Amino acid sequence: MSKLQPLSVLISDSARARWGAAIEQHVQKSLHADRAVQWVPPQTAPDAAGHYACQVAYITRDVTGASTKTRVLEDLQRFYEVMRASPHLAWVHVHSAGADRPIFAELRQRGIKVSTSSGANAQPVAHTALGAVLALGRRFPDLWAAQQAQRWAPLVRNPDVHDLTGQTAMVVGIGRIGSEIARMLQAIGMQVVGVTRSELSGRSAHSPEVCTYAEMAAHLPRTHYLILACPLSPLTQQLVNAHVLSSLPQGACVVNVARGEVVDQAALIAALQSGHLGGAFLDVFETEPLDTACPLWRLPNVIISPHTAGHFAEHADRVQSLFLDNLGRFLSDTHLHNEYL
């Protein structure tokens, strides 16, 4: 039997230093124990035809860095260049929960498999969303502003502060993150309506009430907290528009830990400025970084989080576990977890 060709892996230098030995060991434990790994550093020069040899690309957090969908910095751009010029590329794994950057649609059109790290940060994102509801509901922005002004401002003077118990939160997107958010909100006594793509509505393990996207409009008038945890797709692009926002009750709040493009940002700003919305916690925006001229920075009822809801120190370890699991699946030609379809 002829020896298998090495598995060529595009990986950053820092990720290789940290994970290289574990990846090599995982390959050796696969069905093909004698298969070697050929590392393809991003600075590798192409062959005479302008091509690269990589079959697998592992996009870790250090590669993405401060890049966004609208601002691709040098390290990530270099990965894009190598992937585009790799005719034998078969699989890309990315550290993020979503794969809505244009490059991934481009790769999938070539028949390349793309898998994500969905679920790796589900609990931290859910903790952030829970904290956002508590902060908005208990008026932490007002308390912080009063502290900075050294002003004694008891909440007893605010007639719009209500007990969160019994209030309704709509969680749009009942995936791993949304399910965790729903579970945590129920734990503090809130009523939860989950929105899902499924044609079937009813009860689930994490939400006492579930509806489809087509049915969500009927529940908006009783929704005190609209929480967005859905992936970006043609179904969710600009889902939260002026009509949706105006359908919420006076004083409702919006929490977005999904994608900025799920919300019509201009309509959101108008609803906040008019006082119809009581507040918002925003982790994502239409364009990132958020322009310093954007009114959202200066609205007193808005908490801005710079796309960091899912950050935690152990995230890389969880991503690596997902990558190694999928590496075994890729080598055995079985279905990948979190494959972006």
Distance CA 17, CA 14 (A): 5
Q: Which of 307, 311, 335, 337 is catalytic?
A: 307
Q: Is 259 a catalytic residue?
A: yes
Which residue, 289, 238, 235, 283, is CA-closest to 264? 238
Q: Catalytic: which of 78, 101, 259, 329?
A: 259
Chain Cα centroid distance, residue 307: 9
- Residue 278's alpha-carbon distances to 2, 161, 218, 272, 299, in angstroms, are 68, 10, 21, 7, 11
Which residue is listed with tokens 């030995």?
21
Percent of the chain that is helix, strand, coil (3-state, to 5) = 40, 15, 45
Nearest-angstrom CA–CA distance, 239 and 241: 6
The answer to whether residue 18 is catalytic is no
Letter for the amino acid at 81? E
d(CA 82, CA 45): 9
Whole-angstrom distance, CA of residue 104 vs CA of residue 340? 9
Kindly tell me the burial class for residue 326, based on how many C-beta atoms sit within 10 Å of its own C-beta (0-12, 13-18, 19 or more). Answer: buried
Query: At 78, is the secondary structure helix, strand, or coil?
Result: helix
Question: Which residues, 6 or more positions from 151, have their beta carbon under 8 angstroms from its beta carbon?
Answer: none
Catalytic positions are 259, 307
